[in-house]
Structure formats: structure tokens, C-alpha cells
């Protein structure tokens, strides 16, 4: 592998996105305090519709308004109250980020749902998931690409000294590729999306953002080569779900960065978060099993929780972020 630079400093740690609670000012304070090398824009789904992954990303779409219907998000004929709420929540979050990180000059991570997780969740106006209509999926990817370009620009305007790192959340991508997404009846599944189609649309979204992009997938069978060849600089995954080391080793050797989900999102029975030494050991052990030199570990790997922390207690969430931060520092000192 040739030498390359990464859009994060050596020994960095970050969160996946979601945190418990409803106070965005407090959540942003915690993130900036605990994750100084790579803070992220926190997501607080406990605030209700429009703060969840699908509604929040739906608010970014261009010329594809969304609305809630029977507790599910669908494409709407015109913008309405649900879309306004999602956009107001995002605007409030960006204003809070700008206020607290006004002088911040490093990388900052923002998150949004990816095109295939959206397609597997959003419904067409006539009913049924967008995934069932290939033309609708293409339109959705184009709308998301335009929306993310504008979203990145909005963050950059608020934090002119920072550099933006985009995370696309794609938990449904493996199921979409394998034809495992159930139809509305529950008796069948939607046809699998061809890998080449998925790669093309994912690349369209990544290219449009014009900033380094990582893809987060907290599911088994993460399509690592597809993600890398679509232009992502990194992949975020839950280390407990990695069963086959060879595909991960090949992707890392080919230059893919790793956001290593090394801390459980809920407390173990004992109730305490792992220590930073335990987290660092976990990441180091995986790296050694892959057979890569230690000097690359702190540069190519970012330490993260296994997934979002929305279901954790505030105290546990904060302890997890601190453990990730200190584990990253330990790895950079190796």
C-alpha cells in the first residue's frame, strides 16, 4: 500500500452519532469535551419524529418532501409540518454546533442515512418501500446527493476553519444486496439490488458531497470491497460482528480506513464501561491478527463505540466516549 493521508489525526476517536437525551446543547458540549480530535454532530432521536435517522435525513432531500403516515416515513405530495419539524431540528443542531465550536479548526464528522437504507425504509406515496422501484431508488440517490452537498456547505459556512467528514449510515445495505428486505405483506422479499448498481449510486452520493466520506454499517456481511470501490475513505463497523478477517484485511491493505466499533453500546451486566486499556487492547489484538505493522494502526484506525448510544444512560454514554478517546491516545503512543 502506498502512503496516504487520512482525514483525521493519529490516535483519533469519535462517536457513531446518536446519544441519549433531548438537550442538544449539553450533547454537543459532551462531544466537544470528550472527543477533541474528531468531534461529531450529535443526534438525539429521543426528541421524536424528525430526530430519527430516516426523518432527519429525509429533511435533507431535495424536491422529495417526506411526511409521517401511520408512524412510517413516506414521500409526500408537498412539504408539510413533519418536514418542517425535521428541518427545524437540524437547523437548531447546526446553530448549536456553530456556537460551541466557533473557533474549532480540526475535522468534524456529520452523519446521514445512506441511499439504500433510505430506500428500504421510505415508502412511496402509493404504498410500498421505494426499494421496489429501481427508478425511484435512482431518484432518491440523486435527491440525497443534492441534499448532502447543500448540508456539507451549510456546516462549512458555520465552521469555516474546520474540515468536514461525512458518515453515511447504511445498516440495511447487506440486506438490500442479498434480497432480504421484506415486502409489506411480510410473505416475500424485495429483489436484490445488483452490486454494480449499488456501487454506482453510492459513488454518486459520495462524489456529490465533495468531502471525505465513511460508510457505517453495524450489520454482519459488510460489503467492504463495494464500499471501498464506491469512493469511501473508511468503513465504520462493529468489531463483534466481524467473522471473516480476510475481507477486512484486504480492504485495509487497499487503503480503506477503519472506524473500529470497540465498545458495547449498552453496559455489560457489571454496569461499567470498559477501561481505555481494554478498548485499546481489543483494537490492537484485531490489528495484530490482520498482520499489519503497528505504525499504521493509529493513523488508519479511529476508535468508536460499536454503534449509536441513544439507548444508553447519559453516564454510560459519556464513559464510553472517554474510553474511546483515551484508547485512541494509547494506540498513538505504541
What pLDDT, in 10s, does the model give residues 9-60? 999 999 999 999 999 999 999 999 999 999 999 999 999 999 999 999 999 9
- Whole-Å CA distances, 97 to 43, 182, 265: 12, 38, 24
pLDDT band at 125 (very low <50, low <70, confident <90, very high): very high
The residue-averaged pLDDT of 104-121 equals: 98
- Whole-Å CA distances, 226 to 52, 152, 260, 261, 304: 26, 24, 18, 20, 22
Domain boundaries, the chain: 24-257+289-300
Model confidence pTM above 0.95: yes
Q: By 3-state DSSP, what share of the chain in percent is helix, strand and coil, each rounded to 5?
A: 45, 15, 40
The per-residue pLDDT for 27 is: 98
What does the alpha-carbon distance between residue 48 and residue 317 come to, in Å, rounded to a whole number? 19
pLDDT band at 2 (very low <50, low <70, confident <90, very high): very low
Asked if 151 contacts 96 with a C-beta cutoff of 8 angstroms, the reply is: no
What pLDDT, in 10s, does the model give residues 127-138? 899 999 999 999
Question: Which strands sit side by side in the sheet containing 213-216, from one edge to the other?
Answer: 107-113, 163-169, 213-216, 234-238, 257-263, 301-305
Q: Is the dihedral of CA 31, 159, 298, 17 positive or negative?
A: positive
Give 107's DSSP letter: E
Residue 237 sits at the vertex; the CA angle it makes with 276 and 145, to the nearest 5 degrees, is 125
Number of Cβ within 10 Å of residue 127's Cβ equals 10
Residue 1 has pLDDT above 60, yes or no: no
The residue-averaged pLDDT of 196-205 equals: 98
Q: What is the mean pLDDT of the chain?
A: 96
The per-residue pLDDT for 3 is: 63
Residue 316 has pLDDT above 80, yes or no: yes
Number of Cβ within 10 Å of residue 156's Cβ equals 16
The per-residue pLDDT for 4 is: 78
- What percent of the chain clears pLDDT 70, i.e. is strictly above it? 99
Domain covering 24-257+289-300, topology:
TIM Barrel (3.20.20)
What does the alpha-carbon distance between residue 334 and residue 207 come to, in Å, rounded to a whole number? 35
What pLDDT, in 10s, does the model give residues 248-300? 999 999 999 999 999 999 988 877 889 999 999 999 999 999 999 998 999 99
The per-residue pLDDT for 230 is: 98
Amino acid at each position: 500500500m502506498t502512503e496516504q493521508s487520512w482525514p483525521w489525526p493519529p490516535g483519533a476517536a469519535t462517536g457513531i452519532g446518536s446519544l441519549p437525551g433531548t438537550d442538544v446543547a449539553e450533547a454537543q458540549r459532551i462531544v466537544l469535551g470528550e472527543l477533541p480530535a474528531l468531534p461529531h454532530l450529535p443526534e438525539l432521536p429521543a426528541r421524536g419524529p424528525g430526530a430519527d435517522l430516516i426523518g432527519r435525513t429525509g429533511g435533507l432531500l431535495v424536491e422529495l418532501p417526506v411526511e409521517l403516515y401511520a408512524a412510517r416515513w413516506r414521500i409526500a405530495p408537498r412539504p408539510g409540518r413533519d418536514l418542517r419539524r425535521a428541518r427545524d431540528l437540524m437547523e437548531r443542531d447546526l446553530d448549536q454546533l456553530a456556537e460551541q465550536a466557533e473557533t474549532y479548526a480540526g475535522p468534524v464528522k456529520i452523519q446521514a442515512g445512506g441511499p439504500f437504507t433510505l430506500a428500504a425504509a421510505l415508502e412511496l406515496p402509493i404504498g410500498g418501500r421505494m426499494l421496489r422501484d429501481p427508478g425511484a431508488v435512482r431518484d432518491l440517490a440523486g435527491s440525497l446527493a443534492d441534499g448532502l452537498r447543500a448540508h456539507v456547505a451549510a456546516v462549512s459556512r458555520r465552521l469555516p476553519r474546520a474540515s468536514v467528514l461525512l458518515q453515511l449510515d447504511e445498516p440495511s445495505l447487506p440486506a438490500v444486496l442479498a434480497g432480504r428486505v421484506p415486502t409489506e405483506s411480510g410473505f416475500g422479499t424485495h429483489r436484490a439490488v445488483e452490486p454494480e448498481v449499488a456501487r454506482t449510486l453510492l459513488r454518486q452520493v459520495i462524489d456529490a458531497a465533495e468531502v471525505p466520506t465513511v460508510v457505517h454499517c453495524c450489520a454482519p456481511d459488510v460489503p467492504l470491497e463495494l464500499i471501498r470501490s464506491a469512493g469511501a475513505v473508511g468503513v465504520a463497523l462493529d468489531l463483534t460482528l466481524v467473522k471473516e478477517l480476510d475481507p477486512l484485511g484486504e480492504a485495509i491493505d487497499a487503503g480503506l480506513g477503519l472506524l473500529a466499533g470497540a465498545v458495547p453500546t449498552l453496559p455489560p451486566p457489571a454496569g461499567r464501561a470498559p477501561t481505555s486499556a481494554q478498548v485499546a487492547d481489543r483494537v490492537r489484538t484485531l490489528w495484530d491478527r490482520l498482520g499489519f505493522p503497528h505504525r499504521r494502526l493509529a493513523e488508519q484506525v479511529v476508535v468508536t463505540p460499536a454503534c449509536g448510544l441513544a439507548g444508553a444512560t447519559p453516564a454510560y454514554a459519556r464513559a464510553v466516549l472517554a474510553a474511546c478517546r483515551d484508547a485512541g491516545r494509547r494506540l498513538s503512543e505504541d
